[in-house]
Structure 1
């Protein structure tokens, strides 16, 4: 079994050695968490039964120390690649303009926030020979940046998810498809399929985040809706119907 631990604080960096000694095989960084968008539910302590929401700041110091420590422990680092400062600023501006919908959600967290994060952490990883695993990649710009970092010598594995292969803000209505990073344009969907066929994507995950429907759609705008949706039960059917049956991939290749 492979188990990863998410690192949000400097205190947790100091516990990475202990984690490995007790079975953890990799670590995850959420570069999207900090500043105005630093809210996260933390693990419950023994005896607790209520989720605790806290504010975290996954800044450059934490990122550097996690990557360096993971490299020394022989562990890869999983990465949620979005720059939290760009996301926070984008969301604020979009709300001020009263923008709404999945297109507004995508524009508030631009694909450049993904590529900039990829560039930043890749340089750190190269310097200490750390392996990176970029989770849930779904934009052309992010894929292009990953290709550049690979050419520069960064050891990278790339993951995408079925929703980046089947959904776009140009076709989806409502807020059910709100996710982080956002679903993008039809052109981005095509770019991900092309990357798979060019062997630039290593794995297809799910980013499974099951929310109750009443909580998912709480409020009247995309800003009120919760991000995330189930993926485990739909990943195989979608890959068969949209991939194999439409001759985009073969059973032998996946």
Structure 2
């Protein structure tokens, strides 16, 4: 195996997986998403490794570097932010490699929506409140299927983690309210979750847009919406004394 797609994690260099860190240190060629991956991770790269910033590269240029590396029997790491399966644009890369009969492996990473929960010290799934997490984004240059538009997803009033949309926050708020969330629904924005300059902002759908403008939040931020952010909830049945399971008898 010569090509590895590696999840870099959300920003904190220590949140890359052990396997991802090992491969990054062994790689002869690293192609990293320079606009999002913390450059501190490049300190793990061995001396002499070739490093490419994909922010200035086309898809074909990325594939060409991988293909040449495989021909030279070199280990290639394609380093993506967070977990590469979520808005990582890796499917098109994998499909092109498959056509060329180049084998590859994907190493998962910690997604920014999970780092956001950690920053908020918040569980997304609370009994009697929400048992569903919707991961989505507002339509921009990349279209969203009609059935998955925010205004329709909002009807569930589940916990929602919205990627790549903070620069269109006014539209996000409008669609969420039109879809079913009340204006009093709590909202949190975490900018650069797990980075040293992480910032957290809390408000409601009625007030979040103004707060974001006042603090110049326009990129690299996760929006979390839902009642889990501020409400009473039932305790988990898992630890209730009268609830028995295969590891513990009911008391």
TM-score (norm 2): 0.31
The structure in which a higher percent of residues are strand is: 2
Between Structure 1 and Structure 2, whose CA radius of gyration is higher? 2
Q: Which has the higher helix share?
A: 1
